[in-house]
Structure 1
Amino acid sequence: MSTATEARSLDQGVAPSRYARGWHCLGLAETFRDGKPHAINAFDGKLVVWQDSKGELNVLDGYCRHMGGDLTQGEVKGDDIACPFHDWRWGGDGKCKAIPYARRVPLRAKTLRYETAIVNDQLFIWMDPEGSAADRSILPIQLPGLAEGEYADWSWNITEIEGSNCRELIDNVADMAHFYYVHFSFPTSFRNVFEGHMATQFMESTGRPDKAEGYSSAGSDLFLKSEATYYGPSYMINWLWVDYKGFKTEVILVNTHIATSPNSFTLQYGITVKKPEGMDDATVAFIAEKYTKMFGEGFLQDVHIWKNKVAVQNPLLCEEDGPVYQLRRWYEQFYVDKADVVPEMTERFEFEVDTTKANEFWHAEVAENLAKRAAEEAEAGRPVHH
């Protein structure tokens, strides 16, 4: 019988008090282009987003520097956002442009402005606790063919995660085994590469024939090749090449989050499908809907885990668990001052998991599950399905 001193402790740690330096996605740009102010909860506060007469999207801190009015409840007047409390007008450059009842605007009337960018039809802001200028060289890549209409429209989803720090998402990059237990698939090949501001997971897998949920809803007839890259601390592009009974489709899943507090975040994910050449729009839309449902359900399996687990700063790992600690060291670069980023956070690191032993056990377990199901169906007089 183990004693308290022999048992390994579970260190839940303390969530970081600062927020990640880098580009953060606020959602599809079109959702902010209706002439109204929009509220985004972020970084222990609120942001206001609106479009000006030139079509530019502007992002400021959500509270007026005059007397704290909520700018997201104000009104867009001309190019400016007007506070609902005293009608102070704030421009996209962060400066107060007018106070209708005053002779002049105070020289120091300036609020916090976020630099913006639009990539892949999505609005990004630059955030740095040190206040550095935006580094546009590390923006996520623009997906080739997206602007040219080669992909279906984005299917976009938003969910709030309470009680977890956003690092819980990042750990998945190095987590091979959860694909079997959470997503019901066999990872036959799994490799990580971390370098600079990017962390990539390469994986090949097939569906589990004993399950019909999420990624495995197509069963063993599904072969999946996946390449998922985080561009900075909070935005991942996941290319998914799907082969279902010889029908090949390219799917792109975007997973992005923005911290709302040290222990909560807003999670957004979008899915699009490349249009097969020569296929009519109705059929493309049907295929896109099917894959959106399949991969959306798979992603929600992760969400369920995140909403219910606890943080572990000292995970107890086995050989097949992948480079979790190295991944966390890579991620740390976004939470320290720029001057404190050390080479081991950004130098190229590669690791390939040997999936042999895992697949031996998993295939045996699946065979046992199928045999048990067949026996139960035969005993009940039902037809046996495989």
Structure 2
Amino acid sequence: MSVQGYKIESRPPEARYARGWHCLGLADSYRDGKPHTLDIFGRRLAAFADSSGAIRVIDGHCPHMGADLSTGTVQGDNLVCPFHGWQWGGDGACKSIPYCKRVPPKARIGAWETCEQNRLLFIWHDPEGRPAPPEVAIPRIDACFSDAWSDWAMDEMVIQTNCRELVDNISDMAHFGVVHGAPVDYFANLFENHKATQLMIGRSARLSGDSRLTALSTYFGPAYHITDMSGRMGDQEIHSVLLNCHVPIDLNSFVLRYGVLVKKVPGLSDEQNRAMAQAYVDQARAAFYEDVAIWDNKIRIDNPLLCEGDGPMYQMRDWYQQFYTDVEQVRPSSVARRVVEMNPGNIEPPVLRHVFED
């Protein structure tokens, strides 16, 4: 006779993609005079820079005969279909047809809202078709425009799982010590409106040596995550800004992009500072692969069995669900301010109002 244990609930991912800004990497990488293929949100899109340098994103297939517009050419402000030469503007309207004087009135495809901030390109996704409200605008990072900091050192990878597995990390305190060898002394989460913030104080041989590591991380919406981190390399204090962002390819895979800005160390050459930034990118890659090894072998659990040493996973998922819910149906409790603190190291806790309100 078998003994019945805890019953795991594991539903398939909802057939919907999150409402919010999604980062597509360095904006300048799209300004090469060529169209770029974007396989995101379960569909094919095409990105290109017009004659002013503004980056446009439109639906990727020509409604004339189905050609892939991302394999076409850029001419002025238009993306030219490789099959019959129809020219499509960044607003989604067909501008001209080389063998026809009259453009059919229905010749229009989807055009996607984009923005640039912090030298990065973002695309807005909303299943209801609403434009991005101003209160969710991507905040400026002054370090991106300062000579005292390195440029973004960037990398990316494709991960074969649902993106919720990645976002869980914002509240998963216990995994840092086990998976990443970075035991946590103090941990706090703040959930409010479209932001989820994590304050972690701990130790990491890779990022802080024998010193304390402090990381203040925020998800601005469902997919754009920025961390301000202070650690050490040898006897040198290191201040860095980490980018962790993802765009779903489909319901079971996503592109993860990560990057690092490092505050330049006086006395080091530009080459040495760039090498230091790249070393942090390499460490980030190694850390993400530690997570990937777990994701590749775990199952999706909707009712995780938690203990008192875990982070506030259910509160986090309640906050995260707002991005998969029609705007009018979002529950006020899902976006209300909630703070959860944990102090496994029994250290002197920071005054959170000084941290979370800055």
Query: TM-score, normalising length from structure 1?
Result: 0.86
Deviation at 1:265, TM superposition (A): 1.1
Shift of the 315–18 alpha-carbon distance from structure 1 to 2, 3 Å rule, reads: same
Question: Are the aligned partners of 1:222 and 1:245 in contact in 2 as well (CA < 8 Å)?
Answer: no
Deviation at 1:118, TM superposition (A): 0.6
What CA deviation, in whole Å up to 9, does each residue of 1:179-230 have, x standing for no partner? 11111012001000000100011001113xxxxxxxx336752421001100
Deviation at 1:290, TM superposition (A): 2.6
Q: Distance in 2 between matches of 1:288 and 1:13?
A: 40
Quote the residue 1:344 is aligned against: 333
Unaligned residue ranges in structure 1 (runs of 5+): 208-215, 358-386
Question: Are the aligned partners of 1:320 and 1:354 in contact in 2 as well (CA < 8 Å)?
Answer: no
Q: Distance in 1 between matches of 2:113 and 2:195?
A: 21
Deviation at 1:279, TM superposition (A): 3.8
| Code of the aligned partner of 2:10 | Q
Q: Distance in 1 between matches of 2:271 and 2:245?
A: 29
Deviation at 1:149, TM superposition (A): 2.7
Identity %: 43
Q: Indicate which of 3, 13, 16 corresponds to 1:15.
A: 13
CA RMSD between the two structures: 1.7
Quote the residue 2:350 is aligned against: none
What CA deviation, in whole Å up to 9, does each residue of 1:66-88 have, x standing for no partner? 22110011111121001111111
Q: Distance in 2 between matches of 1:140 and 1:304?
A: 31
Question: Are the aligned partners of 1:196 and 1:348 in contact in 2 as well (CA < 8 Å)?
Answer: yes
Question: Are the aligned partners of 1:150 and 1:275 in contact in 2 as well (CA < 8 Å)?
Answer: yes
Quote the residue 2:321 is aligned against: 332
Quote the residue 2:228 is aligned against: 239
Q: Indicate which of 293, 310, 313 corresponds to 1:304.
A: 293
Question: Are the aligned partners of 1:254 and 1:270 in contact in 2 as well (CA < 8 Å)?
Answer: yes
Q: Distance in 2 between matches of 1:12 and 1:285?
A: 44
Q: Distance in 2 between matches of 1:269 and 1:325?
A: 26
Shift of the 124–237 alpha-carbon distance from structure 1 to 2, 3 Å rule, reads: same
Question: Are the aligned partners of 1:47 and 1:61 in contact in 2 as well (CA < 8 Å)?
Answer: yes
Quote the residue 1:108 is aligned against: 106
Which aligned runs of 4 or more in structure 1 are off by greater than 6 angstroms? none
Question: Are the aligned partners of 2:207 and 2:231 in contact in 1 as well (CA < 8 Å)?
Answer: no
Aligned pair 1:77/2:66, yes or no? Answer: no
What CA deviation, in whole Å up to 9, does each residue of 1:322-380 have, x standing for no partner? 110110000000001110011111000100123149xxxxxxxxxxxxxxxxxxxxxxx
**Secondary structure, aligned partner of 1:315:** coil
Q: Distance in 1 between matches of 2:134 and 2:7?
A: 42
Quote the residue 2:138 is aligned against: 140
Q: Distance in 1 between matches of 2:7 and 2:220?
A: 33
| Code of the aligned partner of 1:182 | V
Q: Distance in 2 between matches of 1:83 and 1:285?
A: 40
Deviation at 1:287, TM superposition (A): 2.1
**Secondary structure, aligned partner of 1:321:** coil
Quote the residue 1:265 is aligned against: 254
Deviation at 1:136, TM superposition (A): 3.5
Query: TM-score, normalising length from structure 2?
Result: 0.92
Shift of the 338–120 alpha-carbon distance from structure 1 to 2, 3 Å rule, reads: same
| Code of the aligned partner of 2:298 | K
Q: Distance in 2 between matches of 1:326 and 1:113?
A: 35
Quote the residue 1:194 is aligned against: 191
Aligned pairs, number: 346
Q: Which has the higher helix share?
A: 1
| Code of the aligned partner of 2:91 | D
Worse-superposed segment, 33-42 or 306-315: 306-315
Quote the residue 1:376 is aligned against: none
**Secondary structure, aligned partner of 1:145:** helix
Q: Indicate which of 160, 163, 168 corresponds to 1:166.
A: 163
Q: Distance in 2 between matches of 1:150 and 1:345?
A: 39
Shift of the 151–218 alpha-carbon distance from structure 1 to 2, 3 Å rule, reads: closer
Aligned pair 1:176/2:173, yes or no? Answer: yes
Unaligned residue ranges in structure 2 (runs of 5+): 347-358
Q: Indicate which of 30, 44, 47 corresponds to 1:46.
A: 44
What CA deviation, in whole Å up to 9, does each residue of 1:129-152 have, x standing for no partner? 110012243122111131133321
Deviation at 1:245, TM superposition (A): 5.0
Q: Distance in 2 between matches of 1:228 and 1:35?
A: 35
What CA deviation, in whole Å up to 9, does each residue of 1:105-131 have, x standing for no partner? 111211111111111111001111110
| Code of the aligned partner of 1:262 | L
Shift of the 219–152 alpha-carbon distance from structure 1 to 2, 3 Å rule, reads: closer
What CA deviation, in whole Å up to 9, does each residue of 1:136-180 have, x standing for no partner? 431221111311333212121111112x21111111111111011
Return the index of the structure with the highest Cα Rg: 1
**Secondary structure, aligned partner of 2:301:** coil
